[in-house]
Amino acid sequence: MKRLKFLLTALFTAIFTIAVVTACNPSTTTTGSTSGSSGGETLTMATSADYPPYQFVDTASGSQEIKGFDIDIANYITDQLGNQLQINNIDFNGLIPALQANRADFVMAGMTPTAERKQNVDFSVIYYQAQNTIVATKGSNFTTPESLNGKTVGVQLGSIQEGAAKDIQGANVKPLNRINEIVQELKAGRIDAAIMEDTVAEGFIASNPDLEFNVIPNTGESGSAIAFPKGSELVTKFNPILEEMKTSGKMEELVAKWFRSEQVPGQTK
């Protein structure tokens, strides 16, 4: 009888201990920067968070959260699909290789669906159209591509701006990984000018009044679209939501939020 009481006491003690430990240490899965609906499959988005207002790291708040136009769109789409979202921040020229290696389900980075890129990945419909600009020190008077003849021009590696700069006769093109590096090189006088999208240029000009930009015509492929691995089923899931965002006014709402307000965070770069 004493032995039975001992065994029962030991059993209840073990059960109580397990219950306390479980309550104090709930099971969690850490997947990085996530948002969207609770439950559902987690979709991984790769981006290059150096391109405000499309995507940038919010250093001002100290949260290091990735925010921006593309992030809001991705959150909206994954929420509509009932998925969670994980965001991975990598260099722009590594985005397509990440898709090809199945390290990401999709890419949003203000990326243009060029013919060359279409050979390696699939694209959604275009969700936003911007223009290229020449960014330079105030008074430089670089107003046309021809004015960059003989000048050193900074561009983001792997971007369509790199291709546009290479088409300028006499320009010495200097590709760099990050947009903030390009601005730093420009302010240090190591490059004469840079080519970047108007929406991105506006943010940097706002926090660098010694710089100016001039819009130049888009002569080649343009527009931003979402990239996917070849044959991805997500293309047919994302496209209807993107079209709905355009017709419902949701896309215009986000354009106004990020491109026509004080939220353009050039100073965080």
Residue 211 exposed, middle or buried by CB count within 10 Å (0-12, 13-18, 19+) = buried
Determine, yes or no, domain membership for 5: no
203 three-class SS: helix
Domain that holds residue 101: 33-128+223-268
Determine, yes or no, domain membership for 181: yes
Kindly state whether residues 114 and 232 are assigned to the same domain. Answer: yes
Predicted pLDDT at 261: 54
Determine, yes or no, domain membership for 142: yes
- Our count of domains for the chain comes to 2
> CB 46: neighbour CB atoms within 10 A?
24
Global pTM reads 0.70
Predicted pLDDT at 202: 87
Q: The CATH number of the domain where 160 resides is what?
A: 3.40.190.10
Furthest C-alpha separation in the chain: 100
pLDDT tens readout for residues 163-216: 899 999 999 999 999 999 999 999 999 999 999 988 889 888 988 999 999 999
> CB 95: neighbour CB atoms within 10 A?
24
Determine, yes or no, domain membership for 9: no
pLDDT tens readout for residues 79-130: 999 999 999 999 999 999 999 999 999 999 999 999 999 999 999 999 998 8
pLDDT band at 25 (very low <50, low <70, confident <90, very high): very low
Provide the token pair at 163: 């291709």
Q: How far apart are the first and last CA of the chain?
A: 74
In 3D space, the residue among 244, 258, 257 whose CA is nearest the CA of residue 77 turns out to be 244
Determine, yes or no, domain membership for 24: no
Contact in structure between 50 and 104 (CB atoms under 8 Å) = no
pLDDT band at 61 (very low <50, low <70, confident <90, very high): confident
Q: Which residue has the higher pLDDT, 267 or 94?
A: 94
Kindly state whether residues 37 and 124 are assigned to the same domain. Answer: yes
CA separation for the pair 154, 161 (Å, rounded): 9
Q: What is the mean pLDDT of the chain?
A: 84
Kindly state whether residues 138 and 207 are assigned to the same domain. Answer: yes
From start to end of the chain, where are the E strands? 33-36, 42-47, 50-51, 55-58, 65-67, 84-89, 106-107, 121-123, 132-137, 152-156, 172-176, 193-197, 211-216, 227-229
Q: Which residue has the higher pLDDT, 144 or 25?
A: 144
Residue with tokens 């108007």: 198
Predicted pLDDT at 39: 60
Is the pLDDT confidence value at 247 over 60?
yes
Lowest mean pLDDT among 72-76, 176-180, 230-234: 176-180
Percentage of residues in the chain having pLDDT higher than 70: 82
Tell how many helices (H) and how many strands (E) occur in the chain: 9, 14
Determine, yes or no, domain membership for 112: yes
CA separation for the pair 160, 178 (Å, rounded): 14
Determine, yes or no, domain membership for 14: no
* Stated length of the chain: 269
Predicted pLDDT at 267: 29
